[in-house]
Amino acid sequence: MKVTQRTILWVVALGVFVAADDLTVVTTMLRPIIADLGITLPDQLDKVAWIVNAYLIAYVGVMPFIGRVSDIIGRRAVYIGSMALFLIGSIWIPYSLQMGQWLVAALPPGYELFGNILTQKDVTYAIFLVGRVLTALGGGAMVPVSMAVIADIYRPERRASALGILGAVETSGWVWGPLYGALLVRFLTWQWQFYFNIPLAIIGIGLAWWALRDLPQPETPPKLDWGGAISLTLALLALNIGLSNSGAAQFAENLSDIEGISATRTVPYFIAAALFLGLFIWGERRLRRDGRRQPMLDLSLFARRNFSPAVLINFFVGLMLIIGMV
């Protein structure tokens, strides 16, 4: 049976939708998750923030270089591997409470790590975050690889329409997530979000194995721009951590507390983000001048009249969606 372009589009769109849904679904499931993890408010509000931020940072962090990785080892392998990682995380998260109990029971009483006695709550919370990171790495990788797949199979005159459909699917996942999460905690439990992910991920792996088997492969795969990938990823991570930490300022009791938070938990990360971004731009321009290796991002795209405004519009659309939902 011949696989059509439209079939491939909807196969990769499934992964994009599930990953986007997982990004925002926890915003309406936080209350029962907090209760089950034993987090106390407001003293441990930073732990609550990391339930969302751990996914967001890993989701963003993997995106800059995974598309280039798929250039080297193939779209199909990377997409299926990403979906498999998402599946592992979806199995991991709902059983984090039980895994925390088992691990603490296996440790000797009073076991210390970095001078602190490990409690079941601490272990369970850490295991839960590991699961969130696993799903985020898998979900974040599926988005750029899906776009690369569409760019491979569609002719230039039809490519924009197909990428627009993929973008609409991702945005729909963002919007659907909070509503879906509210319905789950109203009628079931928060664990069911991840139980439902399991069959979806298995179906997605099977469909991708079938639909992506005949994708074109590059004859001479380009070398990965490790310097660009690392510097851009570190810039995005530092920016996200700085923005996440800045949220603590709203709970400060006086101006000196706000200044302390800015000095120790936000400004250094923003400075690091600016430095890594500058290093990334310098490295990409240098690679483009040398011509010996393809840069990870062609910065000349931003000189095109229609490209920069489109990027800016997309940025503000995403910003408004995330602010409204979170």
- What's the CA angle centered on 210, arms 204 and 211, to 5 degrees? 85
Closest of 190, 212, 243, 101 to residue 146, by C-alpha: 212
Q: Is the dihedral of CA 216, 219, 225, 230 positive or negative?
A: positive
40 pLDDT higher than 80: no
108 pLDDT higher than 60: yes
159 pLDDT higher than 50: yes
Q: What is the pLDDT of residue 118?
A: 62
Rounding to the nearest 10 degrees, give the CA dihedral for residues 96, 101, 102, 103.
80
Question: DSSP states of 2-23 as a string?
Answer: PPPHHHHHHHHHHHHHHHHHHH
Q: What is the pLDDT of residue 42?
A: 66
Give 110's pLDDT tier (boundaries 50, 70, 90): low
SS (H, E, C) 167-227: HHHHHHHHHHHHHHHHHHHHHCCCHHHHHHHHHHHHHHHHHHHHHCCCCCCCCCCCCCCHH
Which pLDDT tens digit goes with each residue over 260-300?
A: 455 567 788 889 999 998 998 888 888 777 766 677 777 77
Label residue 198 exposed, middle or buried (CB < 10 Å: 0-12, 13-18, 19+).
Answer: middle
255 pLDDT higher than 50: no
Q: How far is CA 258 from CA 29, 50, 247, 255, in A?
A: 29, 20, 10, 5
Residue 29 DSSP code: T
Q: How far is CA 137 from CA 84, 132, 141, 298, in A?
A: 11, 9, 6, 24
Q: What is the pLDDT of residue 324?
A: 59
Which pLDDT tens digit goes with each residue over 47-100?
A: 777 888 888 888 877 887 788 788 888 888 999 999 999 999 999 999 988 887
CB 257: neighbour CB atoms within 10 A?
Answer: 13
Closest of 201, 181, 198 to residue 29, by C-alpha: 181
pLDDT above 70 covers a percentage of the chain that reads: 81
Cβ(171)–Cβ(20) below 8 Å: yes
Q: What CATH number was assigned to the domain covering residues 1-222?
A: 1.20.1250.20
Q: Is 249 helix (H, G, I), strand (E, B) or coil?
A: helix
Task: Show the tokens assigned to 272.
Answer: 């690091």
pLDDT above 90 covers a percentage of the chain that reads: 17
Q: What is the pLDDT of residue 67?
A: 80
Give the lowest-confidence range in 15-24, 197-206, 275-284, 304-313: 304-313
Q: Average the pLDDT over 179-202 and give the result.
A: 89
CB 9: neighbour CB atoms within 10 A?
Answer: 21
Give the lowest-confidence range in 20-24, 103-107, 237-241: 103-107
